[in-house]
Amino acid sequence: MTRKTLKPFVFAAMAAVGLLTTPLAASAESLADALVSAYRNSNLLEQNRATLRAADEDVATAVAALRPVLQWSADYSYTKADQYPTADRRSAALTLAAQMTLFDFGRNRLAIDMQKEAVLATREALRSIEQDVLLSAISAYTSVKSTAEQVSINDNSVRVLSEELKATQDRFDVGEVTKTDVSLAEAQLASARASLAAARGNYQIAREAYKAAVGHYPTSLAALPKAPKLPKSLAEAQSTAQRNHPAIKQVQHNVTLAELGIKAAAAERLPEVTGSLALKNAEAGVTTQSAGVELTQTIYAGGALSAAHRQAIAGRDKARATLQQTAVELAQGAAQAWSLIDVYRAQIRAYDEQVQAARIAYQGVKEEATLGARTTLDVLDAEQDLLDAQAARIDAEAQLQVGYYQLLSAMGLLTVEDLKLGIPTYDPAAYYNAVRNAPSTSVQGQSLDRVLRTIGKP
């Protein structure tokens, strides 16, 4: 699938992270703001970027193997003979030597190609981590909002039950209800206070998770943005996942890497031609020069070369099987995310009906209790049913919001680029381009600083 065919999902993702021009309170942090902060402050991303840069250096190391190696050495020796003092000798020499592989039947070239495939696979692994980081931020954002709502409804429940207890106590004072009714109201109020404490604890836990995912504590969070437009069918979602997800691309590069490994293992049986030059300046001005060409080939290695070749073939077969399994798992992941969205939507519809019915029932039971047709226990039970329905509806709504982005992640469309967050992103090719030709001097200071500046690092 081309990038053009992905545009509907990209535009949908744009709307999903609140990048439209809907005005928000200046102090409210939107979901898009949280995602930007998560991207810029993720230690996990930094860790995997460093892993990628290390893989880039493997290409430079492979390139360096095609170039000459220059070495110098200096030696000094002193020989003392006790019986013949005049035989004591001192010698010193300075040697400059060069050695280079002249021809290796493509072994080093294969090594370079293998390392390049490893770099491409590592880039896709970094993209997977980016999706995980953003999805964690989305989950943390919705969790903070849902737990805050849970605190609100539990706090309201405590207030309502406090009033209910006061009303029950007043009715007890005039002899309309028994002490049992008062005790029931007291027990329900105590239960509500325990639930409120638990809700507040969950909210604090959600705040800590938000800080870990985003980089700071939440203050005022804006309303969740409009839900993204989903693909028209499950088949379309699965097809996108199997073509665009970084996991499938990573394994594809691993398959190519394994196939190159077979060629590299076979090439180990071939000869190698190396050349050498040496210049030695010894004591007393004696200078010697030497040059040589050496042809070597392993004739027998006890079966090690054959074993390495068979092992490379097995590695290729494993990579191919992994590719097939990854495609199956991605299709399953997309189907699971798709199904969960349907489940959450159905739950929300049902909870809406339950909340409406529970509210009507509560109001009715409360009115009937004032007329003596209902007991205090009936009122408390009705109020608890309403509270449970409201809490369940909040949880389902939060799960649905996360479910939308889980589907985008399953399709491989939950990156800063796909979401159009409008910030400079880490360029995985910048460092590679700086070191791929194996420069003799380190460019890390300049190139890496430039790369980090593009993503807002100090």
> Of 5-9, 297-301, 308-312, 444-448, where does the model show the most confidence?
308-312
Question: Under a CB-based contact definition with an 8 Å cutoff, are residues 5 and 99 in contact?
Answer: no
Q: With bands split at pLDDT 50, 70 and 90, how would you rate the model's confidence at 133?
A: very high
pLDDT 10s digits, 368-380: 887 878 887 888 8
36 or 22, which is more confident?
36
pTM, rounded to two decimals: 0.84
Lowest mean pLDDT among 6-15, 216-225, 343-352, 449-458: 6-15
Is it the case that residue 331 has pLDDT exceeding 60?
A: yes
pLDDT recorded at residue 20: 37
pLDDT recorded at residue 367: 87
pLDDT recorded at residue 227: 84
Is it the case that residue 21 has pLDDT exceeding 50?
A: no
79 strand-pairing partners: 89
Is it the case that residue 296 has pLDDT exceeding 60?
A: yes
Q: Is 219 helix (H, G, I), strand (E, B) or coil?
A: coil
Calculate the average pLDDT of the chain: 87
pLDDT 10s digits, 140-194: 999 999 999 999 999 998 998 898 899 889 888 988 888 998 998 899 899 999 9
Question: Under a CB-based contact definition with an 8 Å cutoff, are residues 296 and 271 in contact?
Answer: yes
Lowest mean pLDDT among 350-359, 406-415, 441-450: 441-450
pLDDT recorded at residue 186: 92
- Mention the CATH class of domain 4-71+106-273+303-423: mainly alpha
Nearest to 338 by CA among 425, 423, 415, 235: 235
Is it the case that residue 64 has pLDDT exceeding 70?
A: yes
pLDDT 10s digits, 210-265: 999 999 999 899 988 888 778 999 999 999 999 999 999 999 999 999 999 999 99
Is it the case that residue 128 has pLDDT exceeding 50?
A: yes
46 or 17, which is more confident?
46
Distant-in-sequence, close-in-space partners of 147: CB < 8 Å, separation ≥ 6: 199, 202, 203, 205, 206
Q: Is 97 helix (H, G, I), strand (E, B) or coil?
A: strand
Question: Under a CB-based contact definition with an 8 Å cutoff, are residues 112 and 62 in contact?
Answer: yes
Distant-in-sequence, close-in-space partners of 224: CB < 8 Å, separation ≥ 6: 31, 141, 142, 145, 401
Question: Under a CB-based contact definition with an 8 Å cutoff, are residues 267 and 105 in contact?
Answer: yes
Give the rounded percent of residues in the chain with a pLDDT score beyond 70.
Answer: 88
Distant-in-sequence, close-in-space partners of 419: CB < 8 Å, separation ≥ 6: 10, 13, 14, 16, 17, 19, 32, 35, 134
Q: With bands split at pLDDT 50, 70 and 90, how would you rate the model's confidence at 449?
A: low
In angstroms, rounded to a whole number, what is the distance separating the alpha carbons of residues 141 and 35? 9
Residue ranges of the domains in the chain?
4-71+106-273+303-423
Strand 89-103 vs strand 69-79: parallel, antiparallel, or unpaired? antiparallel
Q: With bands split at pLDDT 50, 70 and 90, how would you rate the model's confidence at 81?
A: low
69 strand-pairing partners: 99
Q: DSSP secondary structure string, 396-428? A: HHHHHHHHHHHHHHHHT--SHHHHT--S----H
Q: Which residue has the tokens 């190396």?
A: 274
Q: Give helix then strand counts, H and E, for the chain.
A: 12, 6
Is it the case that residue 396 has pLDDT exceeding 80?
A: yes
pLDDT recorded at residue 445: 52
Residue 168, token pair as written in the block: 């029950």
